[in-house]
Amino acid sequence: MSAGHTFFSVTGLTKDFGGIRAVDDLCFSVEKGSITGIIGPNGAGKTTVFNLVTGVYRPTSGAIHLMGEPIGGLRPDAIVRKGIARTFQNIRLFNRQSCLENVMTPLLQRERHSFVGSVLRTPGARRRQRDLADRGRSLLASLGLEPFASQQANTLPYGLQRKLEIVRALATGPELLLLDEPAAGMNPEETKRLAELIAEIRERFDVTILLIEHHMDLVMNICEPIVVMNFGALLACGTPDEVRSNPDVIAAYLGKGKKSHDASAQG
C-alpha cells in the first residue's frame, strides 16, 4: 500500500433493489489494523454493504476501494484474491464435509495452479495435498478446533460452526475480514469469549476487521470506530462513547426511525 491511501473505503455507495434503496449514498473508511463496527436497526442495509463489498451484488452507484485500488463490481472470486474474506449472517458451511475439508477448500483455491496435478494424482500433487492438510489442521488448531478436524461440520455445536466459518475465511489469507453477526445466537458468556477471540485474531493474523453486530456489549468493547446505519444511510460514525451518546442513534434504536432534529425525539 502506497503512502496516503486509505486502507479501505466506500464512497457514495448505493444499492437499489427495485423500488427499495437498501444502501443510500454511504461513505465510510476503515483504518488498517482496526476493528471497525457496523451497527444499525434490522433492515438498515448492513448485510447489503457486505454483499456489495464481496461482489455478491454490483453497486447501483458509488465506489469501493481497497488499498487504493477500485474493487466495486468485481466478481466474488476476484475480491477474495484482492484480500477480502467474509462470514455469513446465516452460517454457510459445507455441511456434509469435515471441518478439515471445509478449511482445505479455500486453501486449495489459493493454489489453483496445483489443480491439474491434484486431478492427475501426481506424487507432487499428493505431497501438496498433505501439506494443505497440515496447514488446514494448524489453522483449525489456532482457533481451538483441531480436535474436531475429522468431524462433519453440521454436527458441531452452533458456536463452533461460527468459529469454523471464521477459520475458513482466514484460510483465504485476507487483509480485510468481514464478520456478519458472528455472535448471533450466542449467550453472554460465549459472546464475551468471542470478543476476546476476535481481538486475538486481529493480532495473530494481522488482519483488519469490519464487523456487523447487534450485541452492543461486544461492539462497544472491541470496535473503534463504529459506523451506524439507518435506512441504508450513514447515521453516525465515531468512538463507542460518541455513538452511545448521539441523539440520532438513540432515536433510531428507540424505533423512532428517521433522523431527529427536534429535542422531543431524543428520549
Task: Provide the binding-site residues for ligand ATP, judged by CB under 6 A.
Answer: 17, 20, 22, 40, 42-48, 89
Q: How far is the CB of 21 from Mg ion (least distance, A)?
A: 16
161's contact among ligand ATP, Mg ion, none, with CB below 5 to 8 A by partner kind, is none
Q: Where are the beta strands (DSSP E) in 111-261?
A: 176-180, 208-212, 226-230, 233-238
Kind and range of the H or E element at 15?
strand 8-17
Closer residue to ligand ATP in complex, CB, 57/205: 57
Q: How far is the CB of 144 from ligand ATP (least distance, A)?
A: 27
Does residue 47 belong to the site contacting Mg ion (CB under 5 A)? yes
Q: How far is the CB of 51 from ligand ATP (least distance, A)?
A: 7
45's contact among ligand ATP, Mg ion, none, with CB below 5 to 8 A by partner kind, is ligand ATP
Closer residue to Mg ion in complex, CB, 46/163: 46
| C-alpha closest to that of 214 among 248, 186, 236, 235 | 186
- What CA–CA distances, in Å, run from 46 to 42, 49, 160, 206? 9, 5, 24, 24
DSSP 3-state assignment of 24?
strand
CA distance 253 to 147: 41
Closer residue to Mg ion in complex, CB, 49/170: 49
CA distance 91 to 224: 25
CA distance 95 to 102: 9
Q: How far is the CB of 48 from Mg ion (least distance, A)?
A: 8
User: In the bound complex, which residue of the shown chain has the CB atom lying closest to Mg ion?
Assistant: 47
Q: In angstroms, how far apart are the furthest CA atoms of the chain? A: 74
Please state whether 161 falls in left (phi above 0), alpha (psi between -120 and 50) or beta.
alpha
* Cell 458441531 -> residue: 156
Closer residue to ligand ATP in complex, CB, 45/136: 45
Q: How far is the CB of 179 from ligand ATP (least distance, A)?
A: 13
Closer residue to ligand ATP in complex, CB, 17/158: 17
43's contact among ligand ATP, Mg ion, none, with CB below 5 to 8 A by partner kind, is ligand ATP
59's contact among Mg ion, ligand ATP, none, with CB below 5 to 8 A by partner kind, is none
Q: How far is the CB of 214 from Mg ion (least distance, A)?
A: 9
CA distance 178 to 214: 15
Q: How far is the CB of 44 from ligand ATP (least distance, A)?
A: 4
CA distance 127 to 27: 47
Q: Beta partners for 36?
A: 210
Contact pattern for Mg ion over residues 80 through 119, marking x by CB under 5 A: ---------x------------------------------
Whether cis (ω within 30° of 0) applies to the bond prior to 225 is: yes
Closer residue to ligand ATP in complex, CB, 26/207: 26
Q: Point out which residues bind Mg ion (CB under 5 A).
A: 46-47, 89
